[in-house]
Amino acid sequence: MSTELSTGTADLEVACAIPGEEPQHSVNYVTVSAPARVAAGDKTELRVTLRSKAATPRDLAAREVTAELSLQVDGPDGGQVLTVTGLTNPDPIPRGERVFLDEGVVTFVPAAAGTYAFTPGDHTVVTSDHPVVCAVTGGSAVAARTEAR
């Protein structure tokens, strides 16, 4: 229906931990891009990026980091949680720089007409060393909206 996008960034206060270790508190920034308007029942692709406030403690090769992220969808046909996949670092990340993950996608089908809101949530980031599980502790907000007609 429209090529216009609804794009926004949510600041997520997170507690991130390697399994078995104490969590570290930080902030991650999740940007969600969704079509501003779609037809109810049409497949809709959402794009997602993830950026950390904390710096990486070592050099990371291109595509060494991957992540999955939960995305809460609230709308006229109720709520659901989608899993965003494909998040990775397309470029190398030097030690001391923030981690930036791009290429996250998820497909959503609005079943009914109305406004849908997308709120990013918990996520797991995986490096060649280990997984890091990040639970949202505060700051999460609607990052984008889509109007289904």
DSSP category for residue 93: B
Q: What is the pLDDT of residues 85-142, one digit of tens each?
A: 999 999 999 999 999 999 999 999 999 999 999 999 999 999 888 899 999 998 778 9
Q: What is the pLDDT of residues 60-99, one digit of tens each?
A: 999 999 999 999 999 998 889 999 999 999 999 999 999 9
Residue 25's pLDDT is: 92
Burial grade of 99 (CB within 10 A; 0-12, 13-18, 19 or more): buried
CA torsion angle 19 25 26 30 (round to 10): 60
Could you give all domains of the chain from N- to C-terminal order, each with its CATH number?
5-148 (2.60.40)
Instruction: Residue 99: name the closest of 28, 51, 48, 30 by CA.
Output: 51
